[in-house]
Structure 1
Amino acid sequence: MTGTTKNCVVVIGVGMTGLSVVNYLLRKGGDIDIKVIDTQMVRQGSVQLPSEVELHAGGWNMNWLLNANQIIVSPGVALATPELKEAAAKGIEIIGDIELFARDVSVPVIGVTGSNGKSTVTSLVGEMAKTAGINVGVGGNIGFAALDMLMNDHALYILELSSFQLETTLSLDLAAAVFLNFSEDHMNRYIGMGDYHDAKLRIYLQAALAVWNQDDTKTMPVEHANAIRFGLTDGEYTLTLRDGFEWLTANDEQIMPVSDILLVGRHNVANCLAAMAAADAVGIERIAQCAAIRQYRGLPHRCQKVLEQDGVLWVNDSKATNLASTLAALNGIRRDGKLHLMVGGDGKGANFVSLKPVLEKLNVTLYCFGCNGQSFSALVERPVVVETLQQAMDIAAKDAVSGDMVLLSPACASFDQFLNCMVRGDTFAAYASVAVSKKHEDRS
């Protein structure tokens, strides 16, 4: 940086988020020198960086870091990383892409976080807005990078926000901040549950309205002046009975029967209540909310039915990357026959013992795969322990009979064997018919 007066910005990470930051900074223009660091070994030609942006790959460049005016870090890199702590100690500003977005956006924004269900609620509120004819951008931790969406003339943004993104966000003025639930996750990143919880609570900073879960008091905002509750048992957005049927109810007004919801499971009833509260905060018409709820079939890789053959139902819940998501799936799906449940992958330091009492109540065969598959083996008496997901599917296909369900709900991240949870889910969906065909070939 010697000999130049340019403002030096160092971007950490060359994935989707990092590239969106670089492109955003180039669009903004000005006298700026952009440099990119990625600790993984990547080559300049293998990424979509403009030729004028210098890349340092395969490790840290402390000269760049310590001479930067600003560091913009991708969510996957922890602020506790020693190299970043050294830069922070020098007084260098370290922020994330959502903070850049916050400093630029001029229309209402809804933020959604939680250990489970945030993708569903984010996309459902987006569908409500689209049904109402609103030009809405849906992204953040799901779909499009937040900064890329600023290129479009959106009248409203719905952002899924992870704890990692919230750590580096200071000034996001949310029209509504939704905190769905809280449970153990990412213990390989945080010092403990308190550290993780503090990161999640940051969603309420600057928010005009805090929307929290009456059935999970860990989501309660601390001293927020304007807060409302949703919940299955109580809250401004809750359930009431009429003529023996449950109704979604908002501020004592019965809106629509629960039986109209296409999504499966009690957790998704709560998700609909949270989505209604967020939609009300930005004036989305009630008729559009109800129409979206009646039509919304959920996200790929989230309790997605991929095959039903010989009376056996195969369900892809690959987005269940933590224990809470798997528990929600088990509570939401019903089947008369045996459940063939596939768990495992990268456990992120979690303890899965709370799954044991739930499994004891089910007619279940547990298939444990991946690098932390053994962590589940003590939860049932006769687990099936294999190395890969495909091996588990082959065995399940042979053993499953009409009325059974084969469910991939891993409670773990996918990075030990797959690029991401979507690739894991696609593998499950594509291989299901192959596994069934093998079964028929073996019998013929």
Structure 2
Amino acid sequence: MDCANRSHWPLQLLLGWVNFAMTAPLIYLYLGLPMVMRQQGWSGTAIGLFQLAGLPAVLKFMLGAPVDRWARGAAGYRRWSLVLMAGYAASLVGLACLGIEQASFVPLFALAMLASLLGTWADAPVNALAIRCLPADDRLRAGTIRSAASSLGAVVGGGVMLMLHARAGWALPFWVLSGGLLLAALGLCLIPRATLAQSDAVQARQVGVGQWLAYFATAERRRWVVMLMLYFPFIGAAWVYLKPLLLDQGLPPEQVAMVAGVLGGVVGAIGSAFGGYLVRRNGLQRALPACALAGVVALGALAGAVASGAGMPGLVVCTLLLALVMGASAGLLFGMMMNHTRAGLTAVDYGLQSSLFVLTRTLVPMLAGLLLDRLGYPGMLAGLILCMLGVWAWSRTWVRTLNSSHAEPEMRGAA
């Protein structure tokens, strides 16, 4: 796994596995458990409020600061990753000891927030390690692999674990997910020291408020931040409520897990690869607006199917279309995030971007839950469609600005 002279695929796949193991538990918590909560009689507002347990991810820019300050190289990033992943696994064990039938909202929320905090914190050194070890022209591919790993995490966290819950009860899914985290941590130990040492030419810098604010100093980064915060959350909100929607439409819980969790996750992984292919073939100028417009179409199709009572075949088709668009959109953003970091501030800059991404990804589902309780699924989806139309318009403006600043050839080269 020599970063300078050999193929980077072994390292790419290892990091993909680690991202998969870290993503699956969070997907189970925030995309899988809403169906369980709905079965227990929780309201749309309560499900939306539960999404706020993911708010520690908004603080990733702060969590990345001590990582960059004390990691002192790729080997340090690995040490941080191992410790935080162990804590993350322990928080899942705590959840395994809690039953949703007896637990009130507060303890479930608190343990979910702890898992979110540790999983979020671990994400910073893991992805900083990837950025340090991979050359710039491999980072968009790394983002695509990460998005595919997240989609496959949805197969496990949003599908297989729900089926396991239906058959074996509350605790076993959390034990399985914590075991996967420990195996991923062992995988990081396989990266040779020589590979880590070759990535340490850039030394970390001390981090303060000035360094965070300096990220927004250029107009190009400010425009990028708007794109980062708006591009994904409306598609993501529809996906959060998709399982409750299918459940309310009469689909049995295990079939919901199979369609939205397993099949949706596989299609999402395919979408991630397709998003990377679009950038390599056509560049960001066409790929970003095309995926945004596809999001409008996917949301519109789902709203039409619900409003017209199209039945299960139509809802399944709309589910897979939404998964395809979601995977492509996430793959584009994750790859671009890796190319918007500064030397010596890798974990901080990636964490800052992740915080902004998670902020809107968390708040939009909460607002969508309020719409759901007041206007039903058609009203909620109509609101998401209008917002996604605005994202499509902004993406067209952003890529025109990108072209005028001659950044497009650089990004195409990174693909």
Per the normalisation by structure 2, the TM-score is 0.24
Larger relative contact order (Cα-Cα within 8 Å, sequence gap ≥ 6): 2
Which structure carries more helix by proportion?
2
Per the normalisation by structure 1, the TM-score is 0.23
Q: Please identify the structure whose Cα radius of gyration is greater.
A: 1
Which structure carries more strand by proportion?
1
